[in-house]
A and B are shown apart, each in its own frame.
Chain A
Amino acid sequence: MSESALPEEPAAVLPPQETPFARFVSEYAESPVAVVSFIAVVLIVAIALFAPWLSPQNPYDLAQLDIMDGRLPPGAKSPEGWTFWLGTDDQGRDMLSGIMYGLRISLSVGVGSAMIACVIGTALGLIAAFAGGKLDGGIMRLVDLQLSFPAILVALMILAFLGKGVMNVMLALVIVEWARFARTARSAALVEARREYMEAARCLALPKWRLVFRHMLPNCMPPIIVIGTILVARAITLEATLSFLGLGVPITEPSLGLLIANGYQYMLSGKYWISFYPGIALLVTIMAINLVGDQLRDVLNPRLKR
């Protein structure tokens, strides 16, 4: 999807301090769509985690595949007697197993890169906010620069030079994502810095790092979590697009994006299932994450409170 297919960044405003977790939950649960989405996300994560035990086949083991089973329609029987519920791709890979394993790759790439980017970006954002002056200016200049270039282009360049592979994709995604975390963390921290508890902490002459990481960070988390959720969805889409362009993950361990790309060639010849089901899986995953992120933002952003 489009580049900054991001909703506007959450304002760096905190939920009132006294809001307990229960209140957050009940507010979140106000939207049935959001609840369904949350359940969907939990289910998807569970499927991805337990794919090796749930899937009928290990789609990454070439010895278990047979091209003679290739391109079978949904519901066809395997030679061993079990059913390819979602059909097979051109290599004879069971699509259901392929999607389960593909979810693993897509989610781990998406979540993994977002987490690393989150750690790096948040740390830099906090440092910028706390240090101020030249360091702040330098970091923020870098952030502006990074954000002024479209992620797809930067990722494309990085992968063109590094070659494909899960690690390289993650690296590319981290490079394009850290800046958003940094910006969010910095603006949240600037708001926090003016609060009384920070004044109090400063008066106690606590060490700086303690001040930042023990006291400031936890209070900056809500906007970072919101942006993180959305960036996970974006990372998954980006990975799929990169795989589609032939620069993503390796062919024998396809992610959802690569499964779609592989099936893409068969769309015109009516073998829709190779591309269609992974497409649906990708769509549901990204939509669910986006909807959760949407509700999180609404709940955590008091300006939108009714």
Chain B
Amino acid sequence: MGAMRWMAGAWMLAGVAGLPAGAAAQTLTLAVAASPTSVDPHYHNLGPNNGLAHHIFGRLVEADPAARPGPGLALSWRAVDETTWEFKLRPGVKFHDGADFGAADVAYTIARVPTVKNSPGSFLLYTRSITAVEVVDALTVRMKTRVSTPLLPIDLTQVYMLPRGLGAEPATEDFNGLKHANGTGAFRITAFRSSDRAELARNDAFWGKKPHWERVVYRMIPNDSARTSALLAGDVDVIEAVPTQDLANLRGDKRVAMAEAVSLRVAYLMLDLSRKDGQPFVSGPNGEVLTTNPFQDVRVRRALSLAINRQAIVDRVMEGAAVPTGQFLAPGSLSYVRDLEAPKQDIAAARKLLAEAGYPNGFRMTLHGPNDRYVNDEKVTQAIGQMWSRAGIQTKVDALTWPNFIGRASKQEFSAFFAAWGITSGEASNPLRALVATFDAQKGTGSANRSRYSNPALDEVIARASSITDDAARGQALIAATRQAMDDVALITLYQQKNIWGMKPNLRYVARADEATYAEDVTVAP
């Protein structure tokens, strides 16, 4: 009882003390949808981590809102020869502690990336092709690569630069403890409480445009409803990933302004092609065992694609927060195929194709998908189940938690599954190599090709296309490869998601294709 009285006393005291006044001036509170796990920019290659790191650290090449590479800490770059890239660095850039940024820091960073201890997702992915970093002078650096690597500048849009002053093998914990959190970014980090919030203070020595905000409170609210209600209640100024179910209401709400952009994330279905005889989750129309794999027939794959009403999914399930598609990327990308439109639903044609392939009465199948990974994942999966059922393929739907789902999908345990792919590079080389090319550990291709689709002729086209350095020529080659992959229904692409931000009506945000939320891009409306 004594303790209780003490507690009550403390409550009252706190009530009297109240909040420090004036903290609100030029403070931006934003809510992100996923929690960064670390402040170490090389620890875990994960969207939320990279998003927070952007505020603190800088990269040689920065992606613009449309995901096109542009100057960052490097002003310009060129291919000296097939296997050498040269970067000219921006002069006069300083780290938060006042040290100058220069070529030696670039060399230090590239050398540090593979040494991060216990990294569950390394940035080595982007720097592995580099065999040597040559410091030409303080502001010029050359990178030698094993083979021709036309996408190296794009790969470097993922790698944050650290000061060489951190010494040998700086520990991830010291970044989280903010001791090592020393970058060239527009903000310094002043507090980091994982899964709760980070606090940022403006770096007045920043080389670029000075952000409007003196302080930024970077809150992490993964729960969709909680994020929306935090915005409506005025607790936060900006939220990312506005839940689609709240879109219609928020659009009509005067308390909220919105910003949106078509994202680099494409939703797709994969049909298992690893088996020749039978499928674990496919049976005949009356439940009889099938000794063939219907998906081996391109007509069946095409029929399944035609049976889907993409527009209905976009309108009804995604509530407009997506764009129907028949390829990987949205218009504006280097490798966008202009005349490849999203297939229109055509149930008659689908039934005809099924009949031609020898399944006049369809078959039974189960479609799997995750239930906690992508926007509306389990709802979309169910909607597709409805559409396939109506086209004569009696479909069951099973939605699993991500750990369960992805483990089984990677072992080819499903006959068909729903997933989505974020195309970080902004061009089709990435999904073609990861999703369509034959699974080959040696070459590093097909790493996410869980259907085990394999087309050697297409593999060659993809390999050739991704080694072209000239942007325009590579774009044309990628367009040809994309067309071939879609024609063969290597996978069924459904729609590109839209990234949507919600904010107080007096604020504006430059919507980004890459889902990132950057405090310096939030401005006060004129």
Chain A: residues with CB nearer than 8 A to chain B?
Answer: 61-63, 65-68, 70, 90-92, 163-164, 246-247, 250-252, 264-271
Indicate if the CB atoms of A63 and B394 lie closer than 8 Å: yes
- In the complex, identify which listed stretch (B91-99, B243-251, B336-344, B445-453) lies at the interface while the others stay far away: B243-251
Q: Which residue of B lies closest to A266 (CB)?
A: B245
Say whether, besides A252-B397, A265-B245, A266-B245, A246 and B371 are in contact (CB < 8 Å): yes
* Residue B520 CB within 8 A of the other chain: no
Cβ-neighbour of A70 out of B246, B316, B389, B396 (below 8 A) = B316
In the assembly, what is the distance between CA of A75 and CA of B404, in Å? 39
* Residue B229 CB within 8 A of the other chain: yes
Please indicate the chain B residues that have their CB under 8 angstroms from the CB of A268 in the complex.
225, 228-229, 232, 245-246, 249
> 20 extra interchain contacts, Cβ-Cβ under 8 A, other than A67-B316, A269-B245?
A62-B382, A62-B385, A62-B396, A62-B397, A67-B312, A91-B379, A91-B382, A163-B400, A164-B401, A250-B398, A251-B378, A251-B382, A251-B398, A251-B399, A252-B397, A265-B225, A268-B229, A268-B245, A268-B249, A269-B249
Residues of B in contact, count (CB < 8 Å): 33
Please indicate the chain B residues that have their CB under 8 angstroms from the CB of A252 in the complex.
382, 385, 396-398
In the assembly, what is the distance between CA of A253 and CA of B33, in Å? 29
Which residues 367-424 of B sit at the A interface, judged by CB distance below 8 A? 371-372, 378-379, 382-383, 385-386, 389-390, 394-401, 404
In the assembly, what is the distance between CA of A267 and CA of B394, in Å? 32
A-B contact pairs, 12 of them (CB 8 A): A61-B389, A62-B386, A67-B313, A67-B316, A68-B312, A163-B404, A164-B401, A246-B372, A251-B398, A252-B385, A264-B225, A265-B225
Cβ-neighbour of B397 out of A70, A246, A251, A265 (below 8 A) = A251
Which of B224, B243, B316, B400 is the most central at the interface, judged by chain A CB atoms within 10 Å of its CB? B316
Chain B: residues with CB nearer than 8 A to chain A?
Answer: 224-225, 228-229, 232, 243, 245-246, 248-249, 312-313, 316-317, 371-372, 378-379, 382-383, 385-386, 389-390, 394-401, 404
Indicate if the CB atoms of A63 and B396 lie closer than 8 Å: no
> In the complex, what's the smallest C-beta–C-beta distance from B98 to chain A, in angstroms?
47
Q: Which residue of B lies closest to A252 (CB)?
A: B397
Q: Which residue of B lies closest to A274 (CB)?
A: B245
Q: Which residue of A lies closest to B232 (CB)?
A: A268
Say whether, besides A246-B401, A247-B401, A66 and B386 are in contact (CB < 8 Å): yes
Please indicate the chain A residues that have their CB under 8 angstroms from the CB of B228 in the complex.
268
Main secondary structure of the interface of A (DSSP, over half): loop
In the assembly, what is the distance between CA of A251 and CA of B382, in Å? 9
Please indicate the chain B residues that have their CB under 8 angstroms from the CB of A90 in the complex.
245, 317, 379
Say whether, besides A62-B386, A62-B389, A67-B313, A267 and B225 are in contact (CB < 8 Å): yes
> In the complex, what's the smallest C-beta–C-beta distance from B405 to chain A, in angstroms?
10
Please indicate the chain B residues that have their CB under 8 angstroms from the CB of A163 in the complex.
400-401, 404
Cβ-neighbour of A63 out of B249, B313, B390 (below 8 A) = B390
Indicate if the CB atoms of A63 and B372 lie closer than 8 Å: no
Indicate if the CB atoms of A265 and B243 lie closer than 8 Å: yes
Please indicate the chain A residues that have their CB under 8 angstroms from the CB of B404 in the complex.
163
Give the 3 A-B residue pairs with the shortest CB-CB distance, closest first. Answer: A63-B389, A269-B249, A67-B316
In the assembly, what is the distance between CA of A269 and CA of B316, in Å? 15
Please indicate the chain A residues that have their CB under 8 angstroms from the CB of B372 in the complex.
246
In the assembly, what is the distance between CA of A92 and CA of B382, in Å? 11
Please indicate the chain B residues that have their CB under 8 angstroms from the CB of A91 in the complex.
379, 382-383, 386
In the assembly, what is the distance between CA of A65 and CA of B387, in Å? 9
> In the complex, what's the smallest C-beta–C-beta distance from A250 to chain B, in angstroms?
6
Q: Which residue of B lies closest to A66 (CB)?
A: B386
In the assembly, what is the distance between CA of A246 and CA of B378, in Å? 11
In the assembly, what is the distance between CA of A144 and CA of B319, in Å? 51
Please indicate the chain A residues that have their CB under 8 angstroms from the CB of B248 in the complex.
269
Indicate if the CB atoms of B401 and A67 lie closer than 8 Å: no
In the assembly, what is the distance between CA of A61 and CA of B385, in Å? 10
In the assembly, what is the distance between CA of A269 and CA of B502, in Å? 14
Indicate if the CB atoms of A269 and B400 lie closer than 8 Å: no
> In the complex, what's the smallest C-beta–C-beta distance from A167 to chain B, in angstroms?
14
> In the complex, what's the smallest C-beta–C-beta distance from B237 to chain A, in angstroms?
18
Q: Which residue of A lies closest to B391 (CB)?
A: A63
> In the complex, what's the smallest C-beta–C-beta distance from B518 to chain A, in angstroms?
26
Please indicate the chain A residues that have their CB under 8 angstroms from the CB of B312 in the complex.
67-68
Q: Which residue of B lies closest to A90 (CB)?
A: B379
In the assembly, what is the distance between CA of A16 and CA of B243, in Å? 60
Please indicate the chain B residues that have their CB under 8 angstroms from the CB of A266 in the complex.
245
Please indicate the chain B residues that have their CB under 8 angstroms from the CB of A63 in the complex.
386, 389-390, 394
Please indicate the chain B residues that have their CB under 8 angstroms from the CB of A264 in the complex.
225
Cβ-neighbour of A68 out of B224, B316, B385 (below 8 A) = B316
Cβ-neighbour of A250 out of B232, B389, B390, B399 (below 8 A) = B399
In the assembly, what is the distance between CA of A63 and CA of B390, in Å? 6
In the assembly, what is the distance between CA of A63 and CA of B396, in Å? 10
Q: Which residue of B lies closest to A165 (CB)?
A: B398
In the assembly, what is the distance between CA of A63 and CA of B313, in Å? 16
In the assembly, what is the distance between CA of A256 and CA of B243, in Å? 23
Please indicate the chain A residues that have their CB under 8 angstroms from the CB of B245 in the complex.
90, 265-266, 268-269, 271
In the assembly, what is the distance between CA of A223 and CA of B316, in Å? 52
> In the complex, what's the smallest C-beta–C-beta distance from B440 to chain A, in angstroms?
31
In the assembly, what is the distance between CA of A92 and CA of B389, in Å? 15
In the assembly, what is the distance between CA of A91 and CA of B404, in Å? 24
Please indicate the chain B residues that have their CB under 8 angstroms from the CB of A247 in the complex.
401
In the assembly, what is the distance between CA of A268 and CA of B227, in Å? 11
Indicate if the CB atoms of A67 and B400 lie closer than 8 Å: no
Please indicate the chain A residues that have their CB under 8 angstroms from the CB of B396 in the complex.
62, 252
In the assembly, what is the distance between CA of A62 and CA of B394, in Å? 9
In the assembly, what is the distance between CA of A65 and CA of B397, in Å? 13
Indicate if the CB atoms of B232 and A62 lie closer than 8 Å: no
> In the complex, what's the smallest C-beta–C-beta distance from A246 to chain B, in angstroms?
6
Indicate if the CB atoms of B225 and A67 lie closer than 8 Å: no
In the assembly, what is the distance between CA of A122 and CA of B378, in Å? 40
Please indicate the chain A residues that have their CB under 8 angstroms from the CB of B399 in the complex.
250-251
In the assembly, what is the distance between CA of A130 and CA of B401, in Å? 45
Which of A61, A70, A264 is the most central at the interface, judged by chain B CB atoms within 10 Å of its CB? A70
Please indicate the chain A residues that have their CB under 8 angstroms from the CB of B225 in the complex.
264-265, 267-268
In the assembly, what is the distance between CA of A252 and CA of B368, in Å? 12
> In the complex, what's the smallest C-beta–C-beta distance from A147 to chain B, in angstroms?
27
Which of B228, B245, B317 is the most central at the interface, judged by chain A CB atoms within 10 Å of its CB? B245
In the assembly, what is the distance between CA of A267 and CA of B399, in Å? 23
> In the complex, what's the smallest C-beta–C-beta distance from A69 to chain B, in angstroms?
9
> In the complex, what's the smallest C-beta–C-beta distance from B22 to chain A, in angstroms?
32
Please indicate the chain B residues that have their CB under 8 angstroms from the CB of A92 in the complex.
386
In the assembly, what is the distance between CA of A30 and CA of B316, in Å? 53
Indicate if the CB atoms of B383 and A67 lie closer than 8 Å: yes
Indicate if the CB atoms of A164 and B386 lie closer than 8 Å: no
Please indicate the chain A residues that have their CB under 8 angstroms from the CB of B378 in the complex.
251
> In the complex, what's the smallest C-beta–C-beta distance from B94 to chain A, in angstroms?
45
Which of A65, A252, A267 is the most central at the interface, judged by chain B CB atoms within 10 Å of its CB? A252
> In the complex, what's the smallest C-beta–C-beta distance from B328 to chain A, in angstroms?
25
Indicate if the CB atoms of A269 and B313 lie closer than 8 Å: no
Which of A65, A66, A163, A268 is the most central at the interface, judged by chain B CB atoms within 10 Å of its CB? A268
Q: Which residue of B lies closest to A162 (CB)?
A: B404
In the assembly, what is the distance between CA of A256 and CA of B163, in Å? 56
In the assembly, what is the distance between CA of A268 and CA of B225, in Å? 7
Indicate if the CB atoms of A62 and B316 lie closer than 8 Å: no
Q: Which residue of B lies closest to A267 (CB)?
A: B225
Q: Which residue of A lies closest to B229 (CB)?
A: A268
Please indicate the chain B residues that have their CB under 8 angstroms from the CB of A265 in the complex.
224-225, 243, 245
Please indicate the chain A residues that have their CB under 8 angstroms from the CB of B246 in the complex.
268-269
Q: Which residue of B lies closest to A93 (CB)?
A: B382
